[in-house]
Amino acid sequence: MFGILGSGFGLYGYLPAAVALGFSPILFPARYQNKFSSRDELKKFNESISWVDTDQDLIEMATTLVISKRPIDQFKELPNYLSQRRLKKIIFEKPLAIDPFSALKMLDMVKASGKQCTAGFTFRFTPWAALLQPKLISTLPIKKEVWLLQWHFMAHHFSAELRNWKRDNAQGGGVIRFYGIHVIALLAEFGYTEVVLSEVLNSPNDEAYSAWRAIFRGEELPEFRIEVDSHVDKTSFILRNLNTDATMFEANDPFNLPLNQTHEPGLDPRSMYLQEVLSEDIANDQPWPKRLLDATNLWALVERKTKILSSY
């Protein structure tokens, strides 16, 4: 049985992905019905859903469980999930926990339980990431190059002036823990292991970390520089080679689909990449993909290195 907990991204992200893969019935808590009914684009999935009386009933029924909740909740509720005999696999939303050290503890707990888990890191499935990988494993002089990734956008919590967890670094939000974690996970998978610099911008009048820049290095890899700004009006996602001043990839959004793919109007395009997350097989003798541990370790290095600035 396949269950989803999370009335936000769980509904508009993971539900379409699960339906596309043929999961049925998909268990949801009955308390999400009003949220579900308020989203017209999801109503066509009604026949694929089995509404369960309580969250705990769902947890006890599921063999595979998607957890798309606040990082603090994912951490606090993990012992309950791991105590379920029927449950075999958990798919967490990122970040796993409010900080990398809690996330490492979660991975240890999953390993000790004999169950399996993964997480919704979707950058690895994007077209631009697929373009990078062959370049990174080449034997050309690319290793001496310097690449720059600039990701600029206006986060919803800033545009709507929301004071929610996604804005708050202490709750697992902010520019590194909620957005930059995507990049960190991808670089860890590519083999980056060293954090040369990490700086986060924090306004004196606002506890939200809005911008981050960092420098990563790895053996036989080009230096990778990151600039993420979540509080700018102009949206852009650009990857450049600083040695040649050449643009390697440019789009308005990192989640742009390949030219030969489209998503249904009204649906979140990220659900296409979540299909890949839900389809992932983990080796029977492994508690999680190695890249998940590598990502969490690199995240921990970033956190240790990060300096908080009031201006760049």
How do residues 273-294 score in pLDDT, each as one tens digit? Answer: 999 999 999 999 999 999 999 9
Query: How many CB atoms sit inside 10 A of residue 162's CB?
Result: 12
Alpha helices (runs of H) in 62-145, residue ranges in sequence order: 71-76, 78-82, 100-113, 127-136
What rounded mean pLDDT belongs to the chain?
93
Distance from C-alpha of 262 to C-alpha of 250, rounded to nearest angstrom: 19
Model-level pTM? 0.95
Query: Tens digits of per-residue pLDDT, 196-228?
Result: 999 999 865 666 799 999 999 999 899 999 999
Q: In the prediction, which pLDDT does 260 show?
A: 57
pLDDT digits (tens, 9 = 90+) for 91-111: 999 999 999 999 999 999 999
Residue 310 confidence (pLDDT): 81
Which tokens go with 227? 């600039």
Comparing 311 with 248, the larger pLDDT belongs to 248
Query: Residue 48 belongs to what H/E stretch?
Result: none
Task: List Cβ neighbours of 151 (8 Å cut-off, separation of 6 or more).
Answer: 179, 183, 226, 227, 228, 229, 236, 237, 254
pLDDT band for position 272 (50/70/90)?
Answer: very high
Nearby residues of 131 by Cβ (< 8 Å), 6 or more positions away = 248, 249
For the chain, helix (H) and strand (E) counts, in that order, are 13, 13
Please state, in angstroms and rounded to a whole number, the distance separating the CA atoms of residues 69 and 113. Answer: 21
Q: What is the pLDDT of residue 270?
A: 94
Measured CA to CA in angstroms, residue 258 lies from 27, 151, 265, 269 at distances of 31, 19, 16, 11
Residue 11 is which amino acid? Answer: L
> Side chain identity at 18, as an amino acid letter?
A
More confident residue, 130 or 287: 287
Least confident of 9-13, 263-267, 278-282: 263-267
- C-alpha span between 288 and 281 (Å, rounded): 10
Residues 6 or more apart in contact with residue 226 via CB below 8 angstroms: 148, 149, 151, 180, 183, 212, 213, 214, 215, 216
Domains and CATH numbers, the chain: 2-119 (3.40.50.720), 123-258+288-309 (3.30.360.10)
Q: What is d(CA 182, CA 198) in angstroms, rounded to the nearest whole number? A: 15
Distance CA 108, CA 248 (A): 38
